[in-house]
Chains A and B, each alone.
Chain A
Amino acid sequence: GAGVSQSPSNKVTEKGKDVELRCDPISGHTALYWYRQSLGQGLEFLIYFQGNSAPDKSGLPSDRFSAERTGGSVSTLTIQRTQQEDSAVYLCASSLVQGDTQYFGPGTRLTVL
């Protein structure tokens, strides 16, 4: 079946603009995770969804970052007033249930000029 998909593949934006990153998990997967991959910080956990609820937002780096999930499926990660340090690859993963193996999407490369 179809894997995790993310859009856009690449996004270039100007400092101060808002961006939205989208993730479509594998159908039927209840758990969804966002990670950020950057040169300086490696791979970092951002947020976890179980269904439409986000019981763990501990990795969000600032209040400029927010995320939602609707219908237990698609998730959107929003970054407001982007800064240059937000430049990174944002990876989404889903798993059948919490604690199961996670399958990753191809990521969105965000560049903030």
Chain B
Amino acid sequence: AQTVTQSQPEMSVQEAETVTLSCTYDTSENNYYLFWYKQPPSRQMILVIRQEAYKQQNATENRFSVNFQKAAKSFSLKISDSQLGDTAMYFCAFMIIGTSYGKLTFGQGTILTVHP
């Protein structure tokens, strides 16, 4: 079975600063995707970034980037120039490619608060 662990229940950061959210996962599979989703108080889950396990290059999306360490099974999210609108719960998620029908396995989430 696959597991995803987010060891930081809560994090806080000052506006304009950088913050890193941690995620580790456990799997015996070799082909998979990793995701970070953001869930603001509105409850809508929003895709932040996706990483394909077969790609060595770390994914980036504007102010969001990941540090993907496949051997260590680590997938952290770095948010640069934090903005008040980044305040949300962040979920790390894992999907096996080809089997398990593409269902996502989620971590427990990290509540991020950006302070002015």
Known A91-B45, A99-B97, A99-B98; judge A48-B50 contact (CB<8 A).
no
Interface size for chain A: under 10, 10 to 19, 20 to 34, or 35 or more residues?
20 to 34
- A45 and B43 contacting across the interface, CB-CB below 8 Å: no
Chain A residues with Cβ below 8 Å from B45 are 91, 93, 104, 107
**Contacts across chains A and B counted by CB atoms under 8 Å:** 60
Known A42-B109, A99-B95, A101-B35; judge A31-B102 contact (CB<8 A).
yes
Q: Which of B42, B95, B102, B104 contacts A35 (CB 8 A)?
A: B104
Chain A residue with Cβ nearest B6: A42
Chain B residues with Cβ below 8 Å from A105 are 44
- A48 and B106 contacting across the interface, CB-CB below 8 Å: no
Interface size for chain B: under 10, 10 to 19, 20 to 34, or 35 or more residues?
20 to 34
Nearest chain B CB to A41 CB, angstrom units: 10
Q: Does B103 contact A (CB under 8 A)?
A: yes
Known A42-B106, A42-B109, A43-B106; judge A98-B43 contact (CB<8 A).
no
- Taken together as a complex, chains A and B put the C-alpha atoms of A107 and B109 apart, in Å, by 17
* Residues in B lying within 8 Å of A, measured CB to CB: 33, 35, 37, 42-47, 50, 91, 95, 97-98, 100-109
